Amino acid sequence: MQKATFAGGCFWCMVTPFEELPGIHGIVSGYTGGHVKNPTYEQVKTGNTGHYEVVEITFDPELFPYERLLELYWPQIDPTDADGQFHDRGSQYRTAIFYHNEQQQEQALQTKADVAASGRFGDKPIVTEILPADVFYPAEEYHQDYHKKNKKHYKEDREKSGRDEFIDEHWQQS
């Protein structure tokens, strides 16, 4: 088993693209990249801890290669937004790929270059960071599988975020 860690704005919206796929053995919402040990959601949401909201995915690379995870990751985000994602603003909502080994780093850097070269964002730079994995802190239990536990609120939040419209406009193109 290997780990993959992705920051793509609100971690609630980053679970569903990866769940229930063969070779994916777990998805945990949490925090990484900051300077506070064992941060709480209340601390992270201030934007003062340095943490990103992330999902940590446990996967079997023989059944679901890391490249496929990257292929699923990029179309979930606006990689040109350095100040958050969609209606979620602040440093805790920045995008990043946290690599766990040299191969993941190389693949992440290559896919970032591919996204930049695609021209789908015009002359806007791709600001998604490629960073070494750091200590991961699982988020509080009520954040885990939020889309299942709080279906109505999740659906309303996702609809008003603008994420789906952005995905349709920028990523559904051939």
Tell me which of 2, 4, 9, 10 is the catalytic residue.
10
For 79-105, the pLDDT digits (tens) are 999 999 999 999 999 999 999 999 999
pTM over 0.85? The answer is: yes
CATH for 47: 3.30.1060.10
Say whether pLDDT at 8 is over 80.
yes
Residues whose CB is less than 8 angstroms from the CB of residue 92 and which lie 6 or more positions away in sequence, other chains included:
31, 44, 45, 47, 49, 51, 52, 53
pLDDT score at 172? 77
Say whether pLDDT at 174 is over 60.
no
For 37-60, the pLDDT digits (tens) are 999 999 999 999 999 999 999 999
For 133-156, the pLDDT digits (tens) are 999 999 999 999 999 999 999 999
Contact 89, 72 (CB under 8 A): no
Q: What is the mean pLDDT of the chain?
A: 95
Percent of the chain that is helix, strand, coil (3-state, to 5): 35, 25, 40
Cα 21 to Cα 17: distance, rounded to the nearest angstrom: 9
Which of 48, 1, 10, 2 minimizes the C-alpha distance to 30? Answer: 10
Say whether pLDDT at 166 is over 90.
yes
Going by their DSSP bridges, the two strands 84-85 and 52-59 should be labelled as: unpaired
Q: Does the annotation count 10 as an active-site position?
A: yes
Q: How many domains are there within the chain?
A: 1
For 58-76, the pLDDT digits (tens) are 999 999 999 999 999 999 9
The residue range of the domain holding 133 is: 2-170
